Structure 1
């Protein structure tokens, strides 16, 4: 069981978002990350709307207001088709993992996603690059993938759903959302 929540943040910088999200879990032991989030939009008043998936229920704080939260128990079935959305930071390692670079080519980004989603047949229907800036790090290229996947191995897809995909999870990447395709 997990929680899925909609949260309004009063901070725009990705590092400050990361801090505000952590503060939603004041009783978290040993500061273990058990949550993923994705910025959905920024409204006209400057509030950042975030979709949050977590192992424990979030609690509002000064910088982050939980608008709604509900228990979430995804049932993933073999052979089923799901619509998906993922904001990710596709990268590859060069020279035995010592240097990490972002993947900029769209075909390579789709191949990266297919490797990460082993256990499903993936069809990407939309792909959009987004540059994300933070005062604490360099500008990163996030890619918003949308499409359809058919599940071959439910356990593998469930694991990816819980753990997230790729790097920069602290900055809002890696949350895979699934909805049954009709």
Structure 2
């Protein structure tokens, strides 16, 4: 595996949106038309990305600089680590059935879903950051065992929540992607499972810059 820090040409990459970033990164790793995604990435700023991949990225004309190193984390059970993750906070839910047909399955933004619950019950609405914190804790706790981590729950912090909306060629509706950046401390409970999560990513929308889990020894 390889970890790469990629900086694109600012003239071409200034203020890249989610979909434009997705297209740019795919070009660096799509060496054939039928190539399946085998990389993860995180958008760091306007022109910089961090990637984890099975192959080295290509150095194309719109790339200003690429720094590549082999990525083979050496972690053992019991290690205390600091983790960070950008994830897409969604749950799957079926729409109400109609005409005897089963409703289609949709992905629901957990933060917005919780806000709607407060409104339905006529409760005072907490700050969005507070709701995002609760969602992050719930989302991580559900996946704690499969991540190979024992979370120090009092250290988990949702640093940011926002939404991106974009259209794409051939699409009839805009795509809306929600994002929570979360960090905290944890203890490695299963190094093999953690390594799988580091290499394969966590959660939904990995092709759009979500799910890249990063850890370092605390």
Q: What's the TM-score once normalised by structure 1's chain length?
A: 0.86
Report if the CA contact (8 A) 2:136-2:182 is conserved.
no
Superposed CA RMSD: 2.0
Deviation of 1:132 (Å): 2.5
Per-residue CA deviations over 1:127-154 (Å, capped at 9, x if unaligned) read: 1213223333423210001111111111
Report if the CA contact (8 A) 1:3-1:69 is conserved.
yes
For the residues of structure 2 that align with 1:153 and 1:144, how far apart are their CA atoms?
23
Q: What's the TM-score once normalised by structure 2's chain length?
A: 0.73
Aligned to 2:22: 18
More helix by share: 2
Aligned to 1:76: 75
2:120 is equivalent to residue 121 of structure 1: no
Aligned to 2:61: 62
Deviation of 1:111 (Å): 1.4
2:167 is equivalent to residue 135 of structure 1: yes
- Secondary structure of residue in 1 paired with 2:74: coil
Report if the CA contact (8 A) 2:28-2:57 is conserved.
yes
Question: In structure 1, which of residues 85, 93, 101 is the aligned counterpart of residue 108 of structure 2?
Answer: 101
- Secondary structure of residue in 2 paired with 1:41: coil
For the residues of structure 1 that align with 2:32 and 2:82, how far apart are their CA atoms?
32
For the residues of structure 2 that align with 1:110 and 1:97, how far apart are their CA atoms?
28
Q: Identify which range, 160-169 or 59-68, moves more after superposition.
A: 59-68
More strand by share: 1
Structure 1 pair 63–116 and aligned structure 2 pair: CA distance change class (3 A): farther
Matched residues, number: 175
Q: For the pair shown, which has the larger CA radius of gyration, 1 or 2?
A: 2
